[in-house]
Copies of this chain bind each other. A is one copy, B any other.
């Protein structure tokens, strides 16, 4: 299944490299408006996305002084989008709502007081909850962040959450000099792949934990091609052979946990004294269990990271956010950061894309194309 996914992804990535609007998206002149009226994937109540999401005509807000009319180009389906529609996420949109929290759009028109954006610019949401699964919208200038339009579309559409999460977790918790190491589970996730690449660009070694699977060698090869130093199964992680690995590289001071449960406990076990485990996901739906001795005697610290919270905490001062986006785009241009495997699906086919997204062990991100 992943092998198929890889073929699909390869195709998607290749397509994404072709400019979508010729040079039009870089021009200062106004871009032609879309022909059909604005439509979006709307839910009026919480529930299973396949049941409650409907593609509907939607009204555009008035442009006003600070409004920005945006034609959405592409928006991924992330697990948090699904949870938000189900009503189980930590933040929920007021109903009725348009689904989707991430994506890239192109500025079509701007209000009189908007100075930081102009028609043709590419923009991504500066915060969660905008509702990106729609063809067109008027957003307030403050809710948008300009990004360069010379990066692949799939990178742009998936830039604001996973690579940013990886970037912050590698920057904000431990000082990591080149040659030092990081251990992470869920290494094949969107965040995991970004961690591998950003760490490699910084000269930081990565120990990447994945679940055992029939095509393990394919996955290992792919992660190594992204820059992974070690790819290890959960089972291997418990074996004494791990000691050999730590003859080659120093023990990690940072563990990144997207799984929880036993996997998280195992990550912690390999942390060096006074190290930190940052939890950003809980794919196993199991809590994190910490031996008391790890806290007291090994001085291990545990904390969490949530990009949405970080963006809100830094909303008044966008400099940090802009620096991060610039750094990430620089890596993308240098070929050091590629998007995860993606499959582009026309908005009309959203039901098929949702179905794939809800399958377990999905390795191919579904990207709605507007």
Residues of chain A touching chain B, judged by Cβ–Cβ distance below 8 Å, are: 90, 260, 279-282, 287-306, 309
Contacts and interface: CB of A to CB of B under 8 A. Distances in A.
List the 6 shortest-distance A-B pairs measured between CB atoms, nearest first.
Answer: A295-B304, A282-B292, A90-B297, A302-B302, A296-B304, A279-B295
> Which residue, A282, A295, A304, A305, has most C-beta atoms of chain B within 10 A?
A295
B293 A299 contact: no
Nearest to A286: B292
A295 B281 CA distance: 9
Nearest to A307: B296
Contacts of A301: 301-303
Contact of A292 (B260, B291, B293): B260
14 contacts: A279-B296, A280-B296, A282-B292, A282-B293, A288-B289, A290-B290, A295-B302, A297-B306, A299-B303, A299-B304, A299-B306, A300-B303, A302-B302, A302-B303
A42 B128 CA distance: 64
Contacts of A260: 292
Contacts of A304: 292, 294-300
Nearest to A294: B304
A279 B291 CA distance: 10
Contacts of A294: 304
Nearest to A265: B287
B309 A305 contact: no
Contacts of A90: 293, 296-297
Contacts of A292: 260, 279, 281-282, 287-288, 304
Contact of A289 (B287, B296, B309): B287
Contacts of A291: 287-288
A292 B306 CA distance: 11
